[in-house]
Structure 1
Amino acid sequence: MPFLLALVAGSAHAENSGYRLGQGLWLGKLNLSGYLTVEGEAARGEDAKLVVDDLSLFVQGRFNRWLNPFVEAEAASLPILVEDHDIFEGTKSDIVLERFYNDIVIDDDWSLRIGKGLTPIGEWNAIHAGPLVETTSRPLTSFRGFSEFYSGVALLYQAPAERLPDLTFYWQPGGELDSNPEAVPGRLFHDISGVNLSWRWGLENTIGFSVQRARITRTRETQLLVGANLHLIRGPFEIMSEFVRLRLHHPRPIHLRRHETGLYVQGEWHVNDAWSLIGRYEFYQDRDVLRAARNAVIGIAWRPRPPIVWKIEYLDRWGGLIDLRTGVRGSFNLLF
């Protein structure tokens, strides 16, 4: 991950003409780029499958202080081969506008974002693209309990010194501009507001804290989330962790409990510039599932070049059944 995030950070500022793998095509102040994730999965109790999990295209412009648009269009779950189905059949595909917003630069430290963006809860949700994360499977803690997106306005502060935190405050009045087709059933969110504080030092070391309040669509139910995240690098070793705790107010009778809790810890050993070993453990107590879910992942990632990564992993799940199933997963990921 250090190599790729450095590459992405560089691409955000290098307005050079022409194309570079991992940085896209620069046409003056306009950049065209994207990423591809092809995923294979053989999970217990499910059909084995090979799918284009994500094909995302980015259009980004940096014109002046008033006009700095960003658009991400995504095609997801495009079937290639699915057990007991014809070729190119067997999964439901979706095409969505994942993000679309404009940044207004207030000064060197402050900016105003208007449109649809990712909520800054933890780190995984902000960098969830396949080439930017080290496992094919995604921790439940990083998405299940909250809204992954907001449609409204965000005020962003980028601290000029490491001793100060970066700040993001976001507000969504009403519903999402383009609903997430992968949202957990019964968890479409309205009237979202939240704040994130992140202290960063070095290239990737981060400690963050998040708060989010949201209302469940067409109900009186609201939820309050508090969360924390940690990302530390020491030599060839890397540790990443996220925690969320939610409390429901005016809960619907369908819930088994008024709270939800998630925690994962992921460790990584960069054996060399190309090979990495990854291990992860997660605990998740869902509001609607009687038993807490636990899962563990062990995997290998091979990055022959910073924009390209191959992954294979084994996930073991026990306890409550929530989304993830025991099995083998692998993927090819390309940032272009």
Structure 2
Amino acid sequence: MRALSCYGVLSVVVALSLCKSAAADDTAGGFLDGFKLGGYSSAYLNVHPGGKSEASLEEVSFLLRWEGEGRWRFFAELEQEKPVSWKSGQGLTNDGARIDLERFYLDYNISEQYNLRAGRFLTPAGRWNLIHAAPLVWTTTRPLATSRLFPQSTNGIMLYGAKSFDNRAFEYTFFMEALEDQHLDGDEIQYRDTHGARFAFTGKLNLGLTLMEFTEDIPGTPQFRMMGADFMVKHDDWEFSGEAYQRYYSNNRDGGSGAYLQAVAPLGNRWFAVGRLENFKRPAEGSAERWVVGTAWRLQPNRVFKLEYVGGDEERADAPKGLFTSFAILF
């Protein structure tokens, strides 16, 4: 997305704050009463195996939602990426600062089991992509399989809903791209012609299946077909989760794959041990295998401190290694 100055960020923050104040002062009720403003932020430090270090205020995201008494709902997420960063030997900089419109959509409740969404939304693939906000995940680093194999966001339409069965539910999502991204960030991969579906069973054991077709926006690149599976189970503060994806070109050749398995164990006093194994393969980038071991301290439900070490294959720009520490807050 388009990069904007820090003055632009300040203007957005002030505008959103004024909206919230206006809603609070609106004693007559009505449209403004449905608005709620929140957000999250995180900062991190990475000490690479070679000794070089880097740190940044990774993101400041503002979440604006509106829900009235009728069938319409609205949601938007505006994110300031890396407003301030630091590298050993280079000092402070804001060269990587940019504003992203992460989400911006309208929902319409057709009936109890059917909902329609239009706008920009997170691509419903697996679990991590849908709950990727730093305060909601266990590690500072993100599994490569969830960021380099499919589009993380889609501009288009979605039909979704759920059917309950006792303590379980069947959830479905169908989606289709209507407009491809107009701006890219750094080494971000651009996709087009994206469409697919996701099905999930939720309960004590959560299972998901993702089916997608898309094209990487490179001349001569054929369309990809991708299938993904994911799971998550919790018991007495223990958590096990994982995702696996396999892509094929339209001529059935291998188009890349990736997977991760993650385990979380309680240590007491809101401390948790975290471990993860990953593998990733993409024809244009080669393959990588990583492992992550660390800990997370949930000071409060909305605040988390993380410390982890990432090892594995040779370090790459899209697969950093070394010691990571971060702090994230949801507000």
Shorter-normalised TM-score: what interval?
Answer: 0.7 to 0.9
- Name the residue aligned to 2:206: 206
Residue 317 of structure 1: how far off its partner (Å):
1.9
- Name the residue aligned to 2:57: 52
**In the aligned structure 1, how far is the partner of 2:228 from the partner of 2:116?**
24
Q: 1:40 aligns with which of 45, 48, 55?
A: 45
Residue 284 of structure 1: how far off its partner (Å):
1.2
Deviations 1:26-49 (A, max 9, x none): x73211000001111112358412
Change (3 A) 1:297 1:91: farther
Matched to 1:102, the amino acid is L
Q: 2:195 aligns with which of 189, 193, 199?
A: 193
Deviations 1:272-327 (A, max 9, x none): 3511000001111221244x311110011011110000001000021684721320
Residue 249 of structure 1: how far off its partner (Å):
3.0
**Is contact 1:119–1:148 with CA below 8 Å preserved after alignment?**
yes
Alignment RMSD = 2.2
**In the aligned structure 2, how far is the partner of 1:305 from the partner of 1:282?**
29
- Name the residue aligned to 2:234: 233
Question: Does 2:90 correspond to 1:85?
Answer: yes
**Is contact 1:100–1:115 with CA below 8 Å preserved after alignment?**
yes
Question: Does 2:145 correspond to 1:141?
Answer: yes
Residue 163 of structure 1: how far off its partner (Å):
4.9
What aligned pairs does 1:258-273 form with structure 2 within 5 A after superposition?
A: 258-272=254-268
- Name the residue aligned to 1:245: 246
Unaligned runs of 5+ in 1: 1-16, 19-26, 252-256
Question: Does 2:83 correspond to 1:67?
Answer: no
Give identity over the alignment, percent: 25
Q: What's the TM-score, normalizing by structure 1?
A: 0.83
**In the aligned structure 1, how far is the partner of 2:315 from the partner of 2:321?**
12
**Is contact 2:106–2:119 with CA below 8 Å preserved after alignment?**
yes
Matched to 2:161, the amino acid is Y
- Give the secondary-structure state (helix, strand or coil) at the position aligned to 1:137: coil
Residue 165 of structure 1: how far off its partner (Å):
1.7
- Give the secondary-structure state (helix, strand or coil) at the position aligned to 1:165: strand
Change (3 A) 1:170 1:182: farther
**In the aligned structure 2, how far is the partner of 1:182 from the partner of 1:107?**
41
**Is contact 1:311–1:332 with CA below 8 Å preserved after alignment?**
yes
Q: 2:157 aligns with which of 153, 157, 170?
A: 153
After superposing on structure 2, the runs of 4+ consecutive aligned residues of structure 1 that deviate more than 3 Å are 44-47, 319-322
**In the aligned structure 2, how far is the partner of 1:164 from the partner of 1:334?**
30
**In the aligned structure 1, how far is the partner of 2:94 from the partner of 2:75?**
32
**In the aligned structure 2, how far is the partner of 1:302 from the partner of 1:91?**
31
Matched to 2:47, the amino acid is A
Change (3 A) 1:248 1:44: farther
Change (3 A) 1:169 1:180: farther
Deviations 1:186-245 (A, max 9, x none): x3111110100011014xx41000011012225342111100001011223210100000
**In the aligned structure 2, how far is the partner of 1:230 from the partner of 1:91?**
38
Question: Does 2:299 correspond to 1:304?
Answer: yes
**Is contact 1:109–1:160 with CA below 8 Å preserved after alignment?**
no
Unaligned runs of 5+ in 2: 1-22, 25-31
Matched to 1:208, the amino acid is G
Change (3 A) 1:189 1:45: farther
**Is contact 1:293–1:322 with CA below 8 Å preserved after alignment?**
no
Residue 258 of structure 1: how far off its partner (Å):
3.8
- Name the residue aligned to 2:7: none
Residue 83 of structure 1: how far off its partner (Å):
1.2
**In the aligned structure 2, how far is the partner of 1:276 from the partner of 1:95?**
33
**Is contact 1:246–1:261 with CA below 8 Å preserved after alignment?**
yes
Residue 66 of structure 1: how far off its partner (Å):
4.2
Matched to 1:231, the amino acid is M
- Give the secondary-structure state (helix, strand or coil) at the position aligned to 1:297: strand
**Is contact 2:82–2:94 with CA below 8 Å preserved after alignment?**
no
**In the aligned structure 2, how far is the partner of 1:335 from the partner of 1:107?**
32
Deviations 1:167-194 (A, max 9, x none): 0100003413x5452553xx31111101
Change (3 A) 1:313 1:320: closer
Matched to 1:227, the amino acid is G
